[in-house]
Structure 1
């Protein structure tokens, strides 16, 4: 029997190709990337050099932005707990916010969803979402190292317990540190150890930082650092230390990035950095050569406009800037898409995944975002608005051009709107109307 050598060769090549494709397919199904989400406490975008800030040195965050993508229009809620609830659940506060320092235990967090998808999960830093002993595990985290979990922020003598010689809960066990430790070092070491222990697994590390929230105190890099201090007795401390705290925070970001790099897992790890709300009002920074006051607790831009940068070697194009409007509700659907984690259809996610934008594609950017803000759940102090990049419409009917009126002191007279302004007004009113039903159910 005469053998057709070309046919045999072609058959062999086809067989090898099928085999290689099957291997690639198996590999693609089993290697969703690791995710590291770092969220600074009380840090507006004006504090970061890459955004135009000139008051503080942030070389590590700048480098992270240069190696990846910098979102120019990211908005949080104006205070920590509302932002934490929103980023963890992908829902606007109108649907599920109860009160300050609490996350309704009926909610599903990104920790739950990624754990279900097979990820090892950890949280370290600031909790402030419920005092139950099992809170972190209830919301999907295998391991935890937290401040203000079941304990208050002060000890019996009214020392703040997060920085020098802190009181933390490690896997729910309360530990008092008394040998000159610095809280941010302990929790960032915990994150780094988790990353190293799970370098061969799929992992999700969520790091809501302790820095740079007040009390403003010396760090171990400050000239007057006191390792014997049991914590500040002054509620807000001395603002002169804020620059030291920002620098130390930046160094910790660099430390985590270096851990990922040294383990050789940069191409399979996306690192995200953001801030939970605007900077404390005591702090006035220089931004694009102008004074920029902190706006924490306020719904003006200096209360909600936060940095958002991401690096993923080989996936995110370096030195990219994106002007699309995003907010904290978008984080959950984005990281779930990155992780191939299913989001049950019964969860009313308000966010839209911006994974396409991370990968330098157009995606489906929001034309407007919404905010329902009441830090303590008090409806008498509720502030509700919809906005795009330039205009903001409150549920009260007040309409601002926030690009020209940063402090929102001159509401636009509705009877004198231009055609363009009238069209924007109508669009933002539609956005507000979307959440009427959610408010009724609440």
Structure 2
């Protein structure tokens, strides 16, 4: 039976429906999801099949993208520590970056903020953010299983310590493995165990992977894997093993996803995958039909353009793409909004939450992003720029169309810019000016 327009019953139904929707929204906010953030090491966008890479096998990452959302324009910093500081604090390096392999202990991370919101927290993988025994716990992680915390990259015999028979620190205690173990297996097991232990709690698992950083070495799936090896003595190793390392890394991503699925947590867990910076320099890959040179340490796109995919069953629409410009400063405000975690106003967060975009809404996308990059924190090697999707302006005044000039070989002559280019130049100059006095004196 149709209900006539204006009928009291019709109005009651509308009111009750609205109240029910409001109630369900509140309930959803009262029970925020688990969060798993996976970040591969030295892994640019060109390495992923879902983005157009054809040199490697990445079925598990591709599946995440197919089941969720793929961001086409995500940018990191060009090197490990600067990216880690930015993603964990939500601030551009100009504000709080001190030196390589360190995170200033005055800073708050997403670990601190989510722990304060009631989450169980863990980190496993590569640290490189301070040698103190309690560093991970100081920055908000209940549990930790890390490589390169207080120990150096190599042992006394100059063997790299991250892969075969590794030296790791588990909750601050050093442990040497000598029975043919593979470091990435140990830390991924740690994440899986943490997830299972906290399946009835709200948890945040941060997994900054050890793979695919050099030395490029055989994995346990390689024909010439040597379980007795105590680690490479050659820093770069042999680039021929990079495809095998990519495949193994992708398998570990699948391992984490399978654990979540087996525990029935898919609808209450958002899984995010990204890379910390561009692929290392010896690696040349095929990307969208062209050779693509690894650009780690460089501020060109091949040094900063990284994959970024997210899956949350029942919340994020499958097989969607987003073309908004995002960077690592945006991750903290996004996951804090997902977790209903307060971000104190005293923290000068530079990022903008892209939670609406995850749900297919417009949100508040950035028109441009900013980068202050100095791997060692000094001004001598500083590279500072602002950019949008197509253009990049350095503080030096050099202006590039990065869409057409990937490796920034030909700066645009300022005297002959088009009207549209002049407008972009002015906008990017404004972005640079915002951070002119943001550097904290150390």
- Please classify the TM superposition score into its range, dividing by the shorter chain length: over 0.9
Taking the aligned partners of 2:440 and 2:99, their CA distance within structure 1 comes to 18
Structure-to-structure mapping, 1:111-260, within 5 angstroms: 111-260=111-260
Q: Once the two structures are superposed, what CA deviation does each residue of 1:282-305 show, in whole Å capped at 9, x if it has no partner?
A: 000011121100000000000000
Paired position in structure 2 for 1:280 = 280
Paired position in structure 1 for 2:378 = 378
Deviation at 1:343, TM superposition (A): 0.2
Taking the aligned partners of 1:303 and 1:87, their CA distance within structure 2 comes to 16
Q: Secondary structure at the match of 1:436?
A: coil
Deviation at 1:31, TM superposition (A): 1.3
Q: Once the two structures are superposed, what CA deviation does each residue of 1:49-107 show, in whole Å capped at 9, x if it has no partner?
A: 00000000000000000000000000000000000000000000000000000000000
Taking the aligned partners of 1:19 and 1:39, their CA distance within structure 2 comes to 40
Cα 1:125–1:368 change in 2 (3 A) is same
Taking the aligned partners of 1:225 and 1:409, their CA distance within structure 2 comes to 41
Q: Once the two structures are superposed, what CA deviation does each residue of 1:113-153 show, in whole Å capped at 9, x if it has no partner?
A: 00000000000000000000000000000000000000001
Paired position in structure 1 for 2:8 = none
Deviation at 1:30, TM superposition (A): 3.5
Deviation at 1:391, TM superposition (A): 0.3
Paired position in structure 2 for 1:61 = 61
Q: Secondary structure at the match of 1:240?
A: helix
Cα 1:44–1:25 change in 2 (3 A) is closer
Taking the aligned partners of 2:114 and 2:80, their CA distance within structure 1 comes to 23
Taking the aligned partners of 2:30 and 2:306, their CA distance within structure 1 comes to 34
Deviation at 1:18, TM superposition (A): 12
Taking the aligned partners of 1:420 and 1:370, their CA distance within structure 2 comes to 20
Deviation at 1:233, TM superposition (A): 0.7
Taking the aligned partners of 1:387 and 1:199, their CA distance within structure 2 comes to 41
TM-score (norm. length: structure 2): 0.95
Cα 1:356–1:24 change in 2 (3 A) is closer
Q: Once the two structures are superposed, what CA deviation does each residue of 1:212-234 show, in whole Å capped at 9, x if it has no partner?
A: 00000000000000000000011
Paired position in structure 2 for 1:95 = 95
Q: Is this contact kept in 1: 2:166–2:177, CA < 8 A? A: yes
Cα 1:22–1:317 change in 2 (3 A) is closer
Paired position in structure 2 for 1:299 = 299
TM-score (norm. length: structure 1): 0.95
The number of aligned residues is: 429
Paired position in structure 2 for 1:400 = 400
Taking the aligned partners of 1:235 and 1:19, their CA distance within structure 2 comes to 61
Cα 1:361–1:167 change in 2 (3 A) is same
Unpaired runs of at least 5, structure 2 = 1-12
Paired position in structure 2 for 1:289 = 289
Paired position in structure 2 for 1:6 = none
Q: Once the two structures are superposed, what CA deviation does each residue of 1:285-329 show, in whole Å capped at 9, x if it has no partner?
A: 011121100000000000000000000000000000110000000
Taking the aligned partners of 2:319 and 2:105, their CA distance within structure 1 comes to 40
Structure-to-structure mapping, 1:45-84, within 5 angstroms: 45-84=45-84
Taking the aligned partners of 1:27 and 1:364, their CA distance within structure 2 comes to 25
Q: Is this contact kept in 1: 2:94–2:440, CA < 8 A? A: no
Cα 1:61–1:17 change in 2 (3 A) is closer
Q: Secondary structure at the match of 1:376?
A: coil
Deviation at 1:437, TM superposition (A): 1.8
Taking the aligned partners of 1:405 and 1:17, their CA distance within structure 2 comes to 54
Deviation at 1:440, TM superposition (A): 6.5
Paired position in structure 2 for 1:5 = none
The answer to whether the aligner puts 1:30 opposite 2:35 as a matched pair is no
Unpaired runs of at least 5, structure 1 = 1-12
Which 4+ runs in 1 deviate beyond 2 A?
16-30, 439-442
Taking the aligned partners of 2:422 and 2:357, their CA distance within structure 1 comes to 30
Taking the aligned partners of 1:215 and 1:202, their CA distance within structure 2 comes to 36
